[in-house]
């Protein structure tokens, strides 16, 4: 089951609401307490968050003890539990078809313990017990009071205005894109000299180029992203060409008495002088092997380049849409 289908199933079974944007999440009031459930893809686990405050130290100790016992009895499904800063947290492992039932049990346990030890629903930011709701702030689903939401909405609005007024430093941005692509290209060349080529090397070039463009340019813009991707594409071809030329020099330069420059002249002849195909079967076979090897490297490099480019474009579009978003849900 996908994480979205799990969250949708949990929402249906527990009478919660489900949203796919700004992030997949199930949320709502369950047994008098506000619940938010999210999926952490990097850790393959679901996080259940309940904002609640204790009325005594004994209640806190009872909550922590009960959560620990609950997790200890369900080691196959529960990763960890905690109560900190007015938030009950239960981490549930992704266990396939049994994930929804494990989440339901954990949600029920969290609210049961809250009721058992006299906890009350609160805003985790200010402790307010009134006017609680669910909101999306900067791409994150959260629960808080309206007063805190209004403050965060003003903060995100100011941040958006500051970002919009920030000027993109074009010369430094381009320099950053070139330097980043060079770093990725060096990784390509080094791995080639070691006798293998990482499938993700094309993606490394894109990542380094885009990140340094953003770092040195001040921010990432549509034009900057396009510039970075074009520079990265050029570097994919240049890195393979340089890697093969350097390999010719290091492996055959001393035997053939080739200088560094002569190695690239030889590479150009092997790649572009079609008359060499007629000098003999051995030479023709070697040239074909060289070209096919370079073509295979380029295919892998371009595939990872395209994947990384698409991910950056999608992430940029999503970030632009939700980074400074502050809305009420439900």
CA 100, distance to chain mean position in Å, is: 25
Largest CA distance in the chain: 91
Mean pLDDT over residues 227-256, rounded?
Answer: 86
Query: What are the residue ranges of helices labelled H in the chain?
Result: 3-14, 57-72, 99-116, 146-165, 170-193, 201-217, 222-256, 260-272, 281-322
* pLDDT for 281: 47
What are the pLDDT digits (tens) for 271-314? 776 665 555 545 567 778 888 888 888 999 999 999 999 999 98
Res. 198: pLDDT tops 80: no
Nearest 5°: phi and psi at 38? -130, 165
Walk me through the domains of the chain, giving residue ranges and CATH numbers.
3-161 (3.30.1460.10), 170-322 (no CATH)
Residues composing the chain: 330
Res. 18: pLDDT tops 90: yes
Mean pLDDT over residues 52-79, rounded?
Answer: 95
Nearest 5°: phi and psi at 321? -80, -40
DSSP for 290-324, written as a single string: HHHHHHHHHHHHHHHHHHHHHHHHHHHHHHHHHTT
What are the pLDDT digits (tens) for 76-129? 999 999 999 999 999 999 999 999 999 999 999 999 999 999 999 999 999 999
């Amino acid at each position: 089951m996908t994480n979205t289908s799990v969250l949708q199933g949990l929402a249906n079974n527990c009478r919660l609401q489900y949203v796919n944007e700004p992030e997949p999440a199930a949320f709502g009031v369950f047994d008098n307490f506000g619940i938010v459930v999210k999926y952490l893809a990097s850790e393959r686990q679901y996080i259940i968050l309940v904002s609640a405050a204790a009325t005594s130290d004994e209640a806190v100790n009872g909550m922590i003890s009960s959560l620990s016992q609950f997790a200890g009895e369900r080691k196959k499904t529960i990763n960890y539990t905690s109560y900190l800063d007015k938030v009950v947290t239960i981490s549930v492992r992704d266990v396939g078809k049994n994930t929804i039932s494990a989440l339901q049990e954990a949600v029920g346990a969290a609210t049961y313990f809250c009721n058992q030890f006299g906890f009350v629903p609160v805003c985790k930011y200010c402790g307010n017990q009134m006017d609680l709701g669910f909101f999306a702030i900067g791409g994150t689903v959260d629960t808080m009071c309206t007063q805190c939401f209004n403050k965060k909405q003003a903060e995100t609005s100011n941040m958006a205005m500051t970002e919009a007024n920030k000027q993109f430093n074009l010369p430094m941005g381009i320099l950053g894109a070139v330097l980043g692509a060079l770093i990725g290209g060096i990784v390509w060349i080094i791995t080639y000299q070691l006798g293998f080529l990482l499938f993700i090397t094309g993606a490394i070039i894109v990542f380094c180029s885009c990140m340094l463009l953003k770092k040195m340019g001040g921010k990432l813009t549509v034009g900057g992203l396009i510039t970075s991707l074009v520079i990265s594409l050029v570097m994919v071809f240049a890195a393979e060409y340089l890697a093969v030329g350097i390999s010719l020099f290091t492996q055959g330069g001393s035997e053939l008495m080739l200088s560094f420059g002569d190695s690239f002249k030889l590479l150009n002849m092997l790649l572009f002088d079609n008359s060499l195909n007629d000098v003999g079967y051995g030479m023709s076979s070697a040239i074909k092997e060289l070209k096919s090897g370079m073509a295979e490297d380029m295919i892998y490099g371009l595939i990872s380049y395209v994947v990384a480019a698409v991910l950056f474009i999608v992430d940029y579009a999503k970030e632009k849409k939700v980074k400074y978003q502050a809305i009420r849900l439900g």
